[in-house]
Amino acid sequence: MTATVSAAVRTTTADRVEGSSVDIAVELRGLSKVYRSGRNQVQALDRIDLGFPRHSFTCVVGASGCGKSTLLSIIAGLDQPTAGELSVNGTVGLMFQESALFPWLTAEQNIELPMKLRRVPKAERRTRVQQLLQLVRLEGFGSKRPHELSGGMRQRVALARALAQNADVLLMDEPFGALDAMTRDILHHELERIWQQTGATIIFVTHNVREAVRLGDRIVLLSSRPGRVVDNFDVHFARPRRIESPEVGSLSIAVTSRLRQEVARHGTDVPT
């Protein structure tokens, strides 16, 4: 398959871009997105070239409105790019900032739902639900409905539901943004543990630069609209990390400084 500037190409495991590596879970080549409304148009993304290796943990940061969520929506197949190529090797799960659980379903039933939609046999679903509850450390809470759970527990259920899709690639759109600092810190440790245990590829969007440094192997910095890749930062220091550690603080300052240089040209907000 060859590149095109007039239409977008989406490929999956069974129909991959020629020459793409089996070690790459997601690959974007010249990806652009333009939203049109009558005579008006807004370019959200402009010629994004990115590769996400299998079992990598990449954090994407940038000013508000830089196209981070649009990027995830396109990878998830919820939106279509205007131009460029997208290769996704494996299944994709998506987790939002809000848990978006069905309030009339229990935690178990919310987790089970993606498997029911895939017509997984009932006995297999029940076994898998219990495995996922154990994975996110919610044993004994499966019969609770969302209003009976704390915010952090609801996000754990949402994470288990995303994993119930058997996702090879987990897209996370500011999943901890609405949580208090202590709960967020706990979930950082839990997510890191689950990532290492499952071998998933994670693409994690956040406004919080320290969170990005705490979690990621790599930080991708997007410019203000239109979103372009303007810098990459590799995070080399050992895990587990603490968000208040000097190493995290030092790299956070460097990333924020680079981001301030970019957003100063547009007058947009700088993430913390």
Give the confidence band of 261 by pLDDT, cuts at 50, 70, 90. confident
Average pLDDT estimate for 221-238: 90
Query: Quick one: what percent of the chain has pLDDT higher than 90?
Result: 56
> pLDDT tens, 51-83?
999 999 999 998 877 888 899 999 999 999 999
pLDDT for residue 271? 54
| DSSP class per residue in 119-135 | T--HHHHHHHHHHHHHH
**Assigned domain for 160 exists:** yes
DSSP calls for 11-74:
E-TTSPPTT--TTEEEEEEEEEEEEEETTEEEEEEEEEEEEEETT-EEEEE-STTSSHHHHHHH
Q: Establish if 162 belongs to a structural domain.
A: yes
Least confident of 11-20, 83-92, 139-148, 249-258: 11-20
In a domain, 241, yes or no: no
Q: Which of 201, 204, 199, 263 is nearest to 231 (CA)?
A: 263
- Residue 126 lies inside a defined structural domain of this protein: yes
* Among 185, 130, 191, 126, CA closest to 156: 191
93 touches 171 (CB < 8 A): yes
Which pLDDT does position 4 carry in this prediction? Answer: 31
Model confidence at 252, pLDDT cuts 50, 70, 90, reads: very high
pLDDT at residue 10, as a whole number: 47
How remote is the C-alpha of 257 from its chain's centroid? Answer: 23
Question: Is there a contact between 168 and 89 (Cβ–Cβ < 8 Å)?
Answer: yes
Mean pLDDT, all residues of the chain: 86
Q: Any long-range contacts for 133-141 (C-beta under 8 Å, 24+ apart)?
A: 133/107, 133/108, 133/160, 135/160, 135/163, 135/194, 135/197, 135/198, 136/160, 136/190, 136/194, 137/190, 138/107, 141/107
pLDDT at res. 267? 60
Highest-pLDDT range among 89-93, 103-107, 156-160: 103-107
Is residue 145 over pLDDT 60?
Answer: yes
DSSP designation for 147: G
10 bridge partner residues: 86
Q: Is 123 within a domain?
A: yes
Residue 145's domain comprises 100-167
Overall number of domains in the chain: 1
DSSP-assigned beta bridge partners for residue 32 = 83
> Mean pLDDT across the stretch 29-34?
93
Which positions ≥6 away from 60 have C-beta within 8 Å? 68, 71, 203, 204, 205, 206, 219, 220, 222
Q: Name beta bridge partners: 40.
A: 37
The answer to whether residue 120 is domain-embedded is yes
pLDDT tens per residue across span 20-30: 445 999 999 99
- Tell me whether residue 237 is in a domain: no
Q: Is residue 125 in some structural domain? A: yes
